[in-house]
Amino acid sequence: MAGTIKQKVLSEKIITVCNTDFPTPQMVEFVGDLGFDALFIDCEQSSTDFKLVEELSRAARVSNMASVLRPYSKEPGLINRYLSCGAGGIQAPKVGSVEEGRALLDGMSHWDKGDYRDKIIIFMIESRQGIECLPELLKLEEVDVFYFGQNDLAESMGLKGDRKNPKVRSLVEDGIRRTADAGKIAGMNVQDEIDAVGHYMDLGLRWVNVHQKQFMARGSKAFISAAKSRAAG
């Protein structure tokens, strides 16, 4: 099943990924019914525990979505435990060198409950160092997606909180192009730039991650504005 879902998802021209900011199995099924291709499970910056990982991963499978999990550490034992909990893929944070990438893949290869290559493997490029070694990282065949983390990249450049800075934007856009040119999948969280997805797709972006709260904020603001305007009428 994991291999089937991976194959299906990665064959899509554009892969839509939802970061459920309020993760419950019911919400995952709701998101799946909307048509998202994959679910992002955050274990780096949230309180999601192993039990919930199992439940969210199961809900994603039931909804015919892939699930990719970002761990708080690249320690092999931790990553392999998440795989055993049913995560359909690993989104490894802050990969900054080829040696680090190879060590991560080697650790996953020791997972004893299946073939790690049936899982979606994503490397997050979140620093100048990661950008600089991107050409070598792109040669690692097992890696499916190279995901550009704008916030951490900005911080590594001394531009904390300024992910839209032209210097940051230039590196991200160049990284997307180089990834696509290498025949790999480029990914990114579009955050509040939902309307700019077309621009990034033109550069070669295929793995498009968006926060659920962005849609909730947009819909709520539109509803409140319409209701208040009508009442003021």
Domain positions in the chain are 2-223
Q: Average the pLDDT over each of 147-151, 178-182, 190-194 and give the range with the smallest value.
A: 190-194
Q: What is the mean pLDDT of the chain?
A: 95
Q: Assess whether pLDDT exceeds 70 at residue 2.
A: no
Res. 129 pLDDT band, cuts 50 70 90: very high
Give the whole-angstrom CA distance, residue 81 versus residue 112. 10
> What local confidence, expressed as pLDDT, does residue 4 receive?
77
> What local confidence, expressed as pLDDT, does residue 22 receive?
94
> What local confidence, expressed as pLDDT, does residue 1 receive?
46
CB environment 127-151: b (16+ within 10 A), e (fewer): beebbebbeebbebeebbbbbbbbb
Q: If you average pLDDT over residues 64-70, what whole number do you get? A: 97
Q: Assess whether pLDDT exceeds 90 at residue 192.
A: no
Q: If you average pLDDT over residues 183-187, what whole number do you get? A: 98
Dihedral sign from CA coordinates of 24, 29, 30, 35: positive
- Global pTM exceeds 0.85: yes
Let me know if domain 2-223 sits in CATH 3.30.420.40.
Answer: no
